Chain A
Amino acid sequence: MKTLVVAERKGSELRRVTLELAAKARELGDTALVEIAGERYSPLPFVSALAKKVESEKPDLVLLGATLNGRDLGARLAARLGRAYAADVTGLRVAGNALELDKPMYAGKVRAKVRLDLPAVVSVRPGAIPLKGAAEAPQVEKIEADGSAEKLTFVKLAATATGTKRVSLSEARVVVSGGRGLKGPENWHLVEELADALGGAVGASRAVTDAGWRPNEEQVGQTGKTVTPDLYVALGISGAIQHLAGMTSSKVIVAVNKDPDADIFKIADYGIVADVFEFVPAFTEAVKKARA
């Protein structure tokens, strides 16, 4: 089994997902890492350079991170090479001369196992592959993006003028959500202060967005956003099914609720039966201390 990992960098550092992919690839057999060097990602120059590399090296599997650019590059590469393709998988194994993949579908409402024939192109969700111990710095071969293939012109980078520095809900590693237990929009500073202490995003239950306490875009749940952070903190949320659908795939769930029978406790890893007004300020302080 020969795997080519497409490396991505953030600044000068390899992205964590690249290390994860490299670890997985080594587990599968022969591994090579390639990084496409160009001023910025653009599909044609990148796919052209990468396709040439794949045609010469003939790896059985090309692995990319399911990042903004990785997903795009992977799809176009698969189309160019006529290879089988799966995006945003959360697990992969070799089964005979094919791959067996864990593939979330229907916005995470279904977990599928799929068989993908080799040769294949697969993008893997960041954080899905556990990194055991300190990852050794892998060797990465740099290839140049094929500028001659470009048909687009880069115009500019327009900085986003958003009022908040907080991370976006769907990409956040930590999400702190508030529910009806917060009593009213005037108490949201409790949610925000905890989110800031944790470096996370702010969410809300449907009851809260329906009541107009918070904007719709903050709604977590079946009709809102589906989030899969490392840490999800539910404050004053009872845990209606529709809310649970949007956050049960979080790695660790903390629930704070006054009602010991609240459904949210059934799925929480850490439950605190307490008044949010009393507990949250204390927890925010404790987090600041623990992270210091």
Chain B
Amino acid sequence: MKILIPLKQVPDSTVRVKVAPDGTSIVTEGISWSISPYDEYAIEMALERKDADPTTVVAVVTVGAARSRDALRQALAMGCDEASLITADTAAPLAVARALAKVVDETKPDLVLCGKQASDDDQGFVGPALAELLGWAHVATITKVVPVEGGVELWREVEGGHEVWKAPLPALATVHKSEKEPRYPSLPGIMKAKKKEIPEKALSALGIDASGPTWTILSMEPPPVRGGGKILKDGDAKQIAEQLATALRDEAKVL
């Protein structure tokens, strides 16, 4: 089975995100970048398939800035077999999906796994959009994939349990979580990844127009500073507890 994972490079989750002086972007200088967390789960899910069946080929691709190469390298170090980069400094979400559809047409994976959303814009658009462009069905926010006769079973967490869907191949799913935490690149994996070539193509060279419906960011700001709370201090523990419970019920209306 060949599995393709489109991934996105985002600021590492440990980065303290700061709004840039222009007020419409974030400070990117000097920050560290990583594979978006849900994409990492998708990679882990694919590599778990590869652990079970070593003939599995796992490929990753990204549409993004030149620095995204590091994220692909990281995926190779985790154990992915192939990686390719489509460079575009800016591309509308639908253009990204179009580029990925082209990659799918060319490389013919049996299964495409996308992270359910990227941790920068938290949109969750590209996965379902890619399925739409390909004319495939998709299953969203899965936690497990099991190969079965004639396709794959895709497990999806819903309230009170898991829906299990069977999809014929080729199939696409967006990933909520893998069974295990994403693995760490091993040191030999890093050395091996260094020797692998990562072919690169510009979005325009694929004949894809980077424009499409998108938003314009008007402003960005950090979450508002809170304050002006009150300290409850009259009475003993029991009395304060009762005041607080009453305030939460009648004043804040959260009980």
Q: Is the CB of B254 within 8 A of A68?
A: no
When distances are taken between beta carbons in the complex, the residues of chain A under 8 Å from B164 are 154-158
When distances are taken between beta carbons in the complex, the residues of chain B under 8 Å from A272 are 231-233, 240, 244
Q: Which of A68, A111, A151 contacts B158 (CB 8 A)?
A: A68
Write the chain A residue with the least CB distance to B133: A79
Chain B residues touching A, majority SS: mixed
Q: Which of B62-70, B80-88, B119-127, B197-205 is the interface stretch?
A: B119-127
A-B pair number, CB within 8 angstroms: 246
Chain A interface bracket (under 10, 10 to 19, 20 to 34, 35 or more): 35 or more
Known: A72-B141, A274-B240. Contact between A85 and B13, CB under 8 A? no
Q: Is the CB of B215 within 8 A of A84?
A: yes
Q: Is the CB of A111 within 8 A of B137?
A: no
A116 beta carbon closer than 8 Å to chain B: yes
Q: Is the CB of A285 within 8 A of B166?
A: no
Q: Is the CB of A248 within 8 A of B241?
A: no
Q: Is the CB of A286 within 8 A of B132?
A: no
Q: Is the CB of A107 within 8 A of B122?
A: yes
Q: Is the CB of B217 within 8 A of A114?
A: yes
B227 beta carbon closer than 8 Å to chain A: yes
Least Cβ–Cβ distance between A126 and chain B, in angstroms: 13
Q: Is the CB of B129 within 8 A of A75?
A: yes
Q: Is the CB of A267 within 8 A of B93?
A: no
Q: Which of A153, A230, A248 contacts B226 (CB 8 A)?
A: A248
A271 beta carbon closer than 8 Å to chain B: yes
Q: Which of B117, B140, B161, B247 contacts A43 (CB 8 A)?
A: B140
Q: Is the CB of A110 within 8 A of B26?
A: yes
Q: Is the CB of B221 within 8 A of A111?
A: yes
Q: Which of B141, B219, B230, B254 contacts A112 (CB 8 A)?
A: B219
When distances are taken between beta carbons in the complex, the residues of chain B under 8 Å from A120 are 213
When distances are taken between beta carbons in the complex, the residues of chain B under 8 Å from A105 are 120-122, 220
Q: Is the CB of B155 within 8 A of A158?
A: yes
Q: Is the CB of A222 within 8 A of B166?
A: no
Known: A152-B167, A283-B244. Contact between A114 and B252, CB under 8 A? no
When distances are taken between beta carbons in the complex, the residues of chain B under 8 Å from A134 are none
The distance in angstroms between the C-alpha atoms of A108 and B125, with both chains bound, is 18
Q: Is the CB of B161 within 8 A of A85?
A: no
Q: Is the CB of B213 within 8 A of A84?
A: yes
Write the chain A residue with the least CB distance to B174: A72
Write the chain B residue with the least CB distance to A159: B161
Q: Which of A19-27, A55-63, A251-259 is the interface stretch?
A: A251-259
A88 beta carbon closer than 8 Å to chain B: yes
Q: Which of A85, A112, A158 contacts B220 (CB 8 A)?
A: A112
Q: Is the CB of B245 within 8 A of A289?
A: yes
Q: Which of B162, B223, B237, B249 contacts A274 (CB 8 A)?
A: B237
The distance in angstroms between the C-alpha atoms of A113 and B216, with both chains bound, is 9
Known: A68-B141, A154-B163, A198-B255. Contact between A80 and B132, CB under 8 A? yes
Contact with A along B12-31 (1 / 0, CB 8 A): 01101101000000100000
Q: Is the CB of B220 within 8 A of A110?
A: yes
A40 beta carbon closer than 8 Å to chain B: yes
Contact with B along A84-112 (1 / 0, CB 8 A): 11111000000000001101111111111
Specify which of B93, B120, B240 lies most central, judged by the most chain A CB atoms within 10 Å of its CB. B240
Seen from chain B, the residues whose Cβ lies within 8 Å of a Cβ on chain A are 11, 13-14, 16-17, 19, 26, 93-94, 97, 117, 119-125, 127-129, 131-133, 136-141, 153, 155, 157-158, 160-168, 174, 212-227, 229-233, 237-238, 240-242, 244-249, 252, 254-255
Seen from chain A, the residues whose Cβ lies within 8 Å of a Cβ on chain B are 40, 42-44, 47, 68-69, 71-72, 75-76, 78-80, 82-88, 100-101, 103-117, 120, 150-160, 173-174, 198, 222-223, 230-231, 248-249, 251-254, 265-274, 278-279, 282-283, 285-287, 289-291
